[in-house]
Amino acid sequence: MENTLSHFQVSGLEIKLTEDKLFINTSISNEAFALRSVDGIGIVDLVEQYNICLWENQQQLKSSITPILGGITFILMGLFFGYQISPNAGIFIFIIGVLVLAWGISLRKGK
Protein backbone atom coordinates (compact mmCIF):
# COMPACT_ATOMS: atom_id res chain seq x y z
CA MET A 1 0.00 0.00 0.00
CA GLU A 2 1.42 3.34 -1.02
CA ASN A 3 1.38 6.17 1.46
CA THR A 4 -0.19 9.33 -0.05
CA LEU A 5 1.84 12.41 0.87
CA SER A 6 -0.23 15.00 -0.95
CA HIS A 7 -3.43 15.05 -2.94
CA PHE A 8 -4.85 17.86 -5.10
CA GLN A 9 -8.11 17.71 -7.04
CA VAL A 10 -10.00 20.29 -9.11
CA SER A 11 -12.44 20.00 -11.98
CA GLY A 12 -10.84 17.74 -14.56
CA LEU A 13 -7.45 17.39 -12.82
CA GLU A 14 -6.21 15.21 -9.99
CA ILE A 15 -2.62 15.13 -8.73
CA LYS A 16 -1.50 12.62 -6.11
CA LEU A 17 2.00 12.37 -4.67
CA THR A 18 3.08 9.18 -2.96
CA GLU A 19 6.46 8.14 -1.55
CA ASP A 20 7.50 6.59 -4.88
CA LYS A 21 5.35 8.08 -7.65
CA LEU A 22 3.56 11.16 -8.91
CA PHE A 23 0.12 10.42 -10.40
CA ILE A 24 -1.54 12.95 -12.73
CA ASN A 25 -5.07 12.13 -13.83
CA THR A 26 -7.05 14.27 -16.26
CA SER A 27 -10.29 13.66 -18.08
CA ILE A 28 -8.39 12.43 -21.15
CA SER A 29 -5.26 10.76 -19.75
CA ASN A 30 -3.67 9.13 -16.72
CA GLU A 31 0.07 9.41 -16.11
CA ALA A 32 2.36 8.04 -13.41
CA PHE A 33 5.92 9.22 -12.94
CA ALA A 34 8.50 7.46 -10.79
CA LEU A 35 10.11 10.02 -8.50
CA ARG A 36 13.56 8.64 -9.12
CA SER A 37 13.21 9.69 -12.80
CA VAL A 38 12.08 13.25 -12.03
CA ASP A 39 15.00 15.69 -11.97
CA GLY A 40 12.98 18.74 -11.01
CA ILE A 41 9.58 20.36 -11.22
CA GLY A 42 9.17 24.00 -12.19
CA ILE A 43 6.30 26.06 -10.86
CA VAL A 44 5.12 29.31 -12.42
CA ASP A 45 3.49 31.80 -10.07
CA LEU A 46 1.38 34.28 -12.01
CA VAL A 47 -0.90 35.39 -9.17
CA GLU A 48 0.75 38.80 -8.74
CA GLN A 49 0.63 39.50 -12.48
CA TYR A 50 -3.04 38.43 -12.53
CA ASN A 51 -3.87 40.76 -9.65
CA ILE A 52 -2.18 43.69 -11.43
CA CYS A 53 -4.09 43.01 -14.66
CA LEU A 54 -7.34 42.62 -12.71
CA TRP A 55 -6.79 45.95 -10.92
CA GLU A 56 -6.00 47.74 -14.22
CA ASN A 57 -9.14 46.29 -15.81
CA GLN A 58 -11.29 47.44 -12.87
CA GLN A 59 -9.83 50.95 -13.11
CA GLN A 60 -10.58 51.02 -16.84
CA LEU A 61 -14.19 49.99 -16.23
CA LYS A 62 -14.60 52.60 -13.49
CA SER A 63 -13.20 55.35 -15.72
CA SER A 64 -15.71 54.52 -18.47
CA ILE A 65 -18.80 55.02 -16.29
CA THR A 66 -18.58 58.85 -16.22
CA PRO A 67 -18.58 59.30 -20.03
CA ILE A 68 -21.38 56.78 -20.43
CA LEU A 69 -23.59 58.52 -17.88
CA GLY A 70 -22.66 61.92 -19.33
CA GLY A 71 -23.56 60.75 -22.84
CA ILE A 72 -26.92 59.42 -21.69
CA THR A 73 -27.58 62.72 -19.89
CA PHE A 74 -26.77 64.75 -23.01
CA ILE A 75 -28.97 62.50 -25.15
CA LEU A 76 -31.91 62.94 -22.78
CA MET A 77 -31.31 66.69 -22.56
CA GLY A 78 -31.23 66.86 -26.36
CA LEU A 79 -34.48 64.93 -26.66
CA PHE A 80 -36.51 66.62 -23.94
CA PHE A 81 -35.12 70.10 -23.44
CA GLY A 82 -33.45 70.88 -26.76
CA TYR A 83 -36.63 71.42 -28.73
CA GLN A 84 -37.90 73.86 -26.10
CA ILE A 85 -34.81 76.04 -26.64
CA SER A 86 -34.48 75.53 -30.42
CA PRO A 87 -34.53 72.47 -32.70
CA ASN A 88 -30.94 73.03 -33.82
CA ALA A 89 -29.72 73.17 -30.22
CA GLY A 90 -31.57 69.93 -29.44
CA ILE A 91 -30.00 68.14 -32.37
CA PHE A 92 -26.54 69.48 -31.46
CA ILE A 93 -26.88 68.37 -27.80
CA PHE A 94 -28.17 64.97 -28.93
CA ILE A 95 -25.20 64.45 -31.28
CA ILE A 96 -22.76 65.50 -28.53
CA GLY A 97 -24.44 62.93 -26.24
CA VAL A 98 -24.09 60.16 -28.82
CA LEU A 99 -20.40 60.97 -29.33
CA VAL A 100 -19.68 61.03 -25.58
CA LEU A 101 -21.60 57.78 -25.12
CA ALA A 102 -19.64 56.12 -27.94
CA TRP A 103 -16.39 57.31 -26.37
CA GLY A 104 -17.40 55.81 -23.00
CA ILE A 105 -18.32 52.50 -24.59
CA SER A 106 -15.00 52.39 -26.44
CA LEU A 107 -13.21 52.97 -23.11
CA ARG A 108 -15.16 50.09 -21.57
CA LYS A 109 -14.26 47.71 -24.39
CA GLY A 110 -10.58 48.63 -24.21
CA LYS A 111 -10.41 50.28 -27.63
Alpha-carbon distance 34 to 27, whole Å? Answer: 21
| pTM as predicted | 0.51
Closest CA to 57 of 1, 108, 96: 108
Contact of 76 with 94, CB cutoff 8 Å = no
For the chain, what percent of residues have pLDDT higher than 70? 92
**How far out from the chain centre does Cα 91 lie?**
37
Each residue of 12-52: pLDDT tens digit?
A: 889 998 888 889 998 899 998 888 876 776 777 788 888 99
